[in-house]
Amino acid sequence: MLNKEQKEYNRLMRRCIKLAKKGEGRVSPNPLVGAVIFDDDYRIISEGFHEYYGGNHAERNAVLKAKEEIRGKSIIVNLEPCSHYGKTPPCADLLIESGIKRVITGMVDPNPKVCTKGISRLKDAGIEVRVGILEEECKELNKIFIKNQKEKKPYIAIKTGMTLDGKIASRLGKSKWITNETSRKEVQKLRNKYDAIITGSGTVLADNPSLTCRMRGGRNPVRIIYDTNLRSSSQSKVFNEDGTRVIVICSNNVSKRRRSLYGSHIEFIECPEVLGHADIKYALDAVYEKGIRSILTECGGELNRAIIQSGCADELIQFIAPKILGDKEAKSFIEGYNRKEISECNNLKIVSTKILNGDIMICGKFGMGLNNDK
């Protein structure tokens, strides 16, 4: 049974998480952070969130927006306050100067520049610090940032829209529309959330997608095209010069003349080949070096398989429509990843499910200490 203090801290932390999510798509490579200043009766005095990369951190926004005295009050924040100079001064110093008496945080910052240093600075100044409120929820909120800091690799979510029998397109490659409009709106939210979308040349040739974000107030993710031999037409929509960054992954055997056909605004990552394809693991490491911290896949079964088999995938997001295609020649969300025994299956941990006007959205995590390739 939770006591009153624990219940109130949980309530306020959920508010922090909700505030932090307002920064989705705008703060990368920084974490999502929300902060709430409150009094001894748990009344909210002020709140703020990290609104955009380079802007004030959540704690500073909360302090600046306060319309009454905050000295002697408490602040709750989903991530340990920073202790170093970056784009902005240290938040730990600000809280000390503001006379905050208590800091409640959800988790320790995984960034080595900060990790426990902010907490130590606060404690040394005589401020009471409590860590671990809704810690798992806070870690889920910043799963991308955590992987970036710990592994220096992009967080990758495999996104699929499929029938109940696992088909993402007909044998002719047609996929419009397997899922309903509600699911498609949810996909737009994902496009806004992730730094980039990756697709393959097969999808470009079959669907000629735009890969833009059509959510109100959203922003277009970087477009990454995996095209070993540059089969895609340079006139495809994904190559439009519309202000969106475009990165093309290809073989290092592709000629400079062939690359020049795609326009000067295109960035190329030239990869060594593995079994006739651009090395996906090499490519994804190179993408991280170009500043991409999270990637959503919107591609066919072969590229999905390559990413999963490489051990680079972190999450599987499936939108499942209540339909059965029943054609063994139809396209599956993962192709060529044949396991002969049930014991050889990849195991995922389901972390959420949601009903979307009849469709089902399922999110599962790779790894998690399970029997996987990772």
Catalytically active residues are 59
Residue 346 CA to residue 71 CA, distance in Å, equals: 53
First to last CA, the chain: 38
Q: Which of 7, 97, 23, 80 is nearest to 56 (CA)?
A: 23
Contact in structure between 279 and 251 (CB atoms under 8 Å): no
DSSP string across 225-263: EE-TT--S-TTSGGG--SS--EEEEEETTS-HHHHHTT-
Contact in structure between 168 and 333 (CB atoms under 8 Å): yes
Residue 374 CA to residue 372 CA, distance in Å, equals: 5
Amino acid sitting at position 190: L
Both structure tokens of 85? 């100079």
Quick one: the chain helix, strand, coil %, rounded to 5?
Answer: 30, 25, 45
Amino acid sitting at position 43: R
Residue 324 CA to residue 322 CA, distance in Å, equals: 7
How many degrees, rounded to 5, is the angle at CA 250 between CA 249 and CA 254? 150
Angstrom distances, CA of residue 339 to CA of 164, 318, 336, 368: 20, 20, 9, 20
Contact in structure between 331 and 301 (CB atoms under 8 Å): yes
Q: Which of 57, 62, 46, 63 is nearest to 79 (CA)?
A: 57
Q: Would you call the peptide bond into 29 cis, given omega within 30 degrees of 0 as the criterion?
A: yes
